């Protein structure tokens, strides 16, 4: 599976098989997280075999089952773009995990911050977690807003790379599937901006990563 296939195949999965993540996959994830932390300055952490974090009323209400592994997205409170940075590097990990046969779900609300096992220093904040594991299912495609609602460039006028990027952006997960972003062309560069709202900055990082990974063009 290549990255474009991973973008297409990834859907939120909330029910997992009750089996631990394999040793090889854990090692690979740990090493990818190390790389992301070195590049981003974040303090992303992998927590495995924790039955507590998703053992909340909200998680059950959200229909999570056997969610026992997660990637905690943690970073310095002083980073002005902390949310966006977590979105960007988290989505890189989500897509790598998908290519390794692991399903996932971004979770900012339906988990317990208090029970989360990640180490969070006093100058840090946990932005959200990403549940990860072998899905009972592969999830399903989300309903997307029409392309005209997300992008002001007519399809006929889109360069191929830009069209590929927009399609990947439309497949990106966003909190509550809100898709509160807009994409335009600024000269020969894509410009993606977030509208106001809760979690839209995390979404922005996720959307930018999908766009860049599929189109090969930096935003
Ligand atoms: C930043 C962020 C936070 C999210 N928080 C939650 C959450 O707390 N609980 C939940 O069940 N899903 C959560 N989701 C998953 C979204 O509901 C899901 O990504 C969206 O409906 C699109 O569906 P898809 O991921 O299958 O494409 C979150 C997604 C993002 C990007």
Q: Determine how many CB atoms are found less than 10 A away from the CB of residue 78.
A: 9
- Residue after which a domain boundary falls, among 133, 165, 193: 133
> Are residue 98 and residue 178 in the same domain, yes or no?
no
Alpha helices in the chain (DSSP H): 3-9, 23-40, 57-61, 82-99, 147-150, 160-170, 200-215
> Are residue 53 and residue 111 in the same domain, yes or no?
yes
Closest C-alpha to ligand 1, atom 1: 175
pLDDT tens-digit map of 1-11: 999 999 999 99
Among candidates 173, 161, 179, which has minimal Cα distance to 9?
A: 173
Any idea what DSSP says for residue 191? E
Q: How far apart are CA 125 and CA 59, in angstroms?
A: 21
- Radius of gyration for the chain, computed over Cα atoms and rounded to the nearest angstrom: 17
Q: Which domain holds residue 85?
A: 3-133
Q: How far apart are CA 219 and CA 36, in angstroms?
A: 18
> Are residue 175 and residue 120 in the same domain, yes or no?
no
Residue with tokens 């599937």: 177
Among candidates 101, 107, 85, which has minimal Cα distance to 40?
A: 85
Q: How far apart are CA 9 and CA 103, in angstroms?
A: 10
Q: Domain containing 179 — which CATH number?
A: 3.40.109.30
74 Cα to the center of ligand 1, angstroms: 18
Q: Domain containing 35 — which CATH number?
A: 3.40.109.10
Residues with CB under 6 A from ligand 1: 11-12, 14, 62, 105-110, 128, 139, 142, 173-177, 199, 202-203, 206
At 142, list the tokens. Answer: 């989300």
Closest C-alpha to ligand 1, atom 8: 109
196 domain-assigned: yes
- Which of 71, 85, 107 for a ligand 1 pocket mutation test, highest count of atoms within 8 Å of Cβ? 107
- pLDDT bin (cut points 50, 70, 90) of residue 57 is confident
> Are residue 118 and residue 171 in the same domain, yes or no?
no
Question: In this model, does residue 59 exceed pLDDT 90?
Answer: no
Question: In this model, does residue 58 exceed pLDDT 90?
Answer: no
160 Cα to the center of ligand 1, angstroms: 29
Closest C-alpha to ligand 1, atom 19: 173
Q: How far apart are CA 170 and CA 150, in angstroms?
A: 8
Provide the CA 32 distance to its chain's centre, in angstroms: 15
Tell me what pLDDT residue 25 has.
97
Closest C-alpha to ligand 1, atom 20: 177
pLDDT tens-digit map of 71-120: 999 999 999 999 999 999 999 999 999 999 999 999 999 999 999 999 99
> Are residue 121 and residue 13 in the same domain, yes or no?
yes
- Residue after which a domain boundary falls, among 105, 133, 161: 133
At 41, list the tokens. Answer: 């300055």
> Are residue 15 and residue 111 in the same domain, yes or no?
yes
Residue with tokens 């909340």: 56
């Amino acid at each position: 599976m290549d990255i474009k296939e991973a973008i297409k195949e990834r859907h939120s999965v909330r029910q997992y098989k009750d089996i631990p993540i394999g040793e090889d996959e854990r090692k690979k994830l740990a090493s990818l997280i190390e790389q992301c932390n070195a590049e981003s300055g974040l303090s992303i952490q992998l927590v495995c075999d924790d039955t507590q974090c998703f053992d909340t009323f909200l998680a059950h209400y959200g229909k999570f089952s056997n969610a026992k592994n997660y990637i905690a997205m943690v970073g310095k409170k002083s980073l002005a773009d902390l949310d966006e940075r977590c979105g960007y590097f988290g989505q890189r990990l989500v897509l790598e995990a998908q290519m390794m046969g692991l399903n996932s779900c971004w979770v900012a609300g339906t988990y317990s911050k208090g029970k989360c096992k990640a180490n969070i220093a006093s100058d840090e904040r946990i932005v959200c977690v990403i549940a990860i594991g072998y899905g009972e299912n592969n999830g399903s495609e989300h309903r997307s807003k029409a392309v005209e609602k997300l992008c002001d460039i007519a399809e006929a006028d889109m360069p191929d790379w830009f069209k590929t990027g927009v399609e990947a952006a439309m497949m990106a997960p966003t909190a509550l599937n809100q898709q509160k972003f807009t994409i335009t062309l600024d000269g020969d560069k894509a410009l993606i901006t977030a509208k106001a709202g809760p979690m839209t900055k995390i979404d922005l990082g996720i959307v930018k990563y999908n766009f860049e990974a599929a189109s090969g063009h930096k935003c």
